[in-house]
Amino acid sequence: MEDASNAPKFHMDRSQYGDGLLQWFTDAHPHHSNIAVTDIDIPVATGFSNETVFFGVSSNTDEGPHEGRYVARIEPEDGGMFPIQTPDCDISVALQQRVMNTVKQQ
């Protein structure tokens, strides 16, 4: 098996991921305050189309403190690996989410 550390994505600067994840969580969860993103981990075997990122979030809500673990799929800035199939699927992670939600409902 080839050494995965030679893949181009392993030579990217990921220092901005924390800020991006914080902004996403803040926008997606407006009732949370004092939000902190922690424990960012990027596994080696994440596929080639998108980056998988595990991370924690601590925050406060009206109901009290919140601690959670999350998984994000981040599409490369230059788009996914595969061509766009339909206008509704121009973001490959959106298609992946739709497929996962469909499977979940079955």
Condensed to tens digits (0 to 9), the pLDDT of residues 21-34 reads 999 999 999 999 99
State yes or no: pLDDT of 81 exceeds 90: no
Rounded Cα gap, residues 53 and 57, in angstroms: 13
Number of neighbouring beta carbons within 10 Å of residue 44: 9
Q: Is 71 helix (H, G, I), strand (E, B) or coil?
A: strand
Mean pLDDT of 68-87: 74
Give the model's pLDDT for residue 1: 44
State yes or no: pLDDT of 9 exceeds 90: no
Alpha-carbon torsion (9, 96, 18, 71), positive or negative: negative
